[in-house]
């Protein structure tokens, strides 16, 4: 039996029945990482020793039947943006190459409390800035379905690791689509919860009003299991929402008869890949056949979403990344030119080109004389985008769209054209601006064998309905069962 092919819920069942041990499962994953990782490059750090210690502890917990959860003994990974005590956390940046945090982020702490085994840290676009995982300071992650293609980004290492069965699941972050877009590119499930549903404490900040942690998994049930573990109020994060956390697995299979699914005309546009268009429309037919009612809606300010996002996100990034100055932690480039010289050289050598580009854009838009024209105006239009969703949800329960306008593109194809790269997130950005939950589930493949994703968006804090709609579609199709032949 190949333990690495199992979902969280399948492996959890075997662990509880003692048909297999966590140590065996962890060793199987570490062996697969050793064999496959050189071709995919999904990890920045593999923490084999820590993982095996955690697995031994999980086996003891299971043998005593003490606080066993669906994650106890299950090997997972996390994006290298989450602080992990004693394990280096780089954000795939040279400026944090040797940073070892003295504490765990809240989500990592909650995974550990649930008994999960953390195999290591997944590669990403530096400081989560990118849509292709080509911006890492250490290596480019490759798409397991086609090694000449990107896995999406910025959580591309997490998505590739799950698709290639290098971990049973991973945690990523989503600022403008960074969980859902790579999930679509890699043929897996990716969930962005409502802003504030999951704590951001110990998650290295890119854009604080947009960032949200969430699961990347092999199926929808696994996403619900992971969300159960990480969701909820955290007194260490003032933006986390104090709202009861339901059991997201409870109503997963209740069906979608009578559910109203909004179809926004602005998300079916000219220039979209025809195979993506056809696959998503076929998925909508499946939802209708399952008893859902398709309702045409409009999200009129969608056309401004990319511009708004790249003003708000870069402004917040400029502010957040000011702390990397070579003084307190991370890289320090010592020269003899004094303090300002050290600042400049540290940041020049520590940050990659995409991070520098976004810091400069953000600093410009926050400068005196430009703030009102750019950041303030973008914040006002962001409110209009949110109002669009509020109005749409008076007519429907969820909204269904393509996740990305194209399947995974070739490595290097968009590197020289940042604007074309930024348009990769055209269908995912509005969800972050509005703070609503969204999920991507596999809904087909191109003739060339590349995955295509269906995106389902929901009302704030209504992850239950989003997961139920996604699960109903998933159960009626076979796309999520396909795995790349590595």
List residues with catalytic annotation: 79, 154, 178
Cis bond before residue 97 (omega within 30° of 0) = no
Helices of type H across 190-304: 220-230, 274-289
How, if at all, do strands 398-402 and 260-264 pair?
Answer: parallel
The dihedral through the CA atoms of 38, 41, 44, 47 has a sign that is negative
Tokens for 3?
A: 């333990």
CB 146 within 8 A of CB 450: yes
CB burial string 222-236: b at 16+ within 10 A, e below? bbbbbbbbbbbebee
Look at the block and give the residue holding tokens 């005196």.
Answer: 368
Q: Using alpha carbons, select from 119, 120, 11, 26 the residue that is nearest to residue 69.
A: 11
Helix (H, G, I), strand (E, B) or coil at 285: helix
Paired with 173 in beta bridges are: 213
Look at the block and give the residue holding tokens 């953000």.
Answer: 362
The dihedral through the CA atoms of 283, 288, 292, 296 has a sign that is positive
In this structure, the chain runs to a length of 486
- Determine the Cα angle at 41 with ends 38 and 45, to 5°: 100
Radius of gyration of the chain (CA): 21
**Rounded to whole angstroms, how far apart are CA atoms 38 and 123?**
13
> Which value, to the nearest 10 degrees, does the dihedral of the CA atoms of residues 155, 159, 160, 162 take?
140
Tokens for 452?
A: 């295509």
């Amino acid at each position: 039996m190949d333990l690495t092919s199992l979902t969280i819920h399948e492996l959890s069942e075997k662990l509880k029945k003692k048909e297999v041990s966590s140590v065996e499962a962890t060793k199987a994953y570490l062996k697969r990482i050793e064999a496959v990782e050189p071709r995919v490059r999904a990890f920045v750090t593999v923490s084999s020793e820590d993982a095996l210690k955690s697995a031994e502890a999980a086996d003891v917990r299971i043998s005593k039947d003490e606080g066993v959860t669906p994650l106890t003994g299950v090997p997972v990974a996390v994006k290298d943006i989450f602080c992990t005590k004693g394990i280096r956390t780089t954000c795939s940046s040279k400026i944090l190459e040797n940073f070892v945090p003295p504490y765990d982020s809240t989500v990592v702490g909650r995974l550990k409390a649930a008994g999960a085994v953390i195999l290591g840290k997944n590669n990403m676009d530096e400081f989560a800035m990118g849509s292709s995982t080509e911006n890492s300071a250490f290596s480019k992650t490759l798409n397991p379905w086609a090694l000449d293609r990107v896995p999406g980004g910025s959580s591309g290492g997490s998505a590739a690791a799950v698709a290639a069965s290098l971990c049973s699941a991973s945690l990523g972050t989503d600022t403008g689509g960074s969980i859902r877009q790579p999930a679509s590119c890699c043929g897996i499930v990716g969930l962005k919860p409502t802003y504030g549903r999951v704590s951001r404490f110990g998650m290295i900040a890119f854009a604080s009003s947009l960032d949200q942690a969430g699961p990347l998994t092999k199926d929808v049930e696994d996403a619900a299991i992971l969300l159960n573990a990480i969701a909820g109020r955290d007194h260490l994060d003032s933006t986390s929402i104090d709202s009861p956390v339901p059991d997201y697995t409870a109503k997963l299979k209740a069906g979608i008869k009578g559910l109203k699914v909004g179809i926004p005309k602005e998300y079916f546009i000219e220039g979209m890949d025809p195979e993506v268009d056809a696959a998503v429309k076929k998925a909508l037919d499946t939802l209708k056949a399952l008893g859902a009612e398709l309702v045409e809606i409009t999200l009129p300010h969608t056309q401004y979403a990319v511009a708004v996002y790249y003003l708000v996100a870069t402004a917040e990034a400029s502010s957040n990344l000011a702390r990397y100055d070579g003084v307190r932690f991370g890289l320090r480039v010592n020269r003899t030119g004094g303090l300002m010289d050290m600042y400049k050289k540290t940041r020049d050598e520590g940050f990659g080109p995409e991070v520098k580009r976004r810091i400069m854009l953000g600093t410009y838009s926050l400068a005196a004389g430009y703030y009102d024209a750019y950041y303030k105006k973008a914040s006002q239009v962001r409110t209009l985008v949110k109002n669009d969703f509020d109005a749409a949800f008076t007519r429907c329960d969820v909204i269904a769209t393509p996740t990305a306008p194209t399947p995974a593109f070739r490595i290097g194809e968009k590197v020289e054209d940042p604007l074309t790269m930024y348009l990769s997130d055209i269908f995912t950005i509005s969800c972050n601006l509005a703070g609503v939950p969204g999920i991507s589930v596999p809904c087909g493949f191109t003739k060339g064998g590349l995955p295509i994703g269906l995106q389902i968006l929901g009302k704030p804090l209504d992850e239950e309905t989003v997961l139920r709609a996604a699960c109903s579609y998933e159960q009626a199709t076979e796309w999520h069962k396909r795995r790349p032949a590595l």
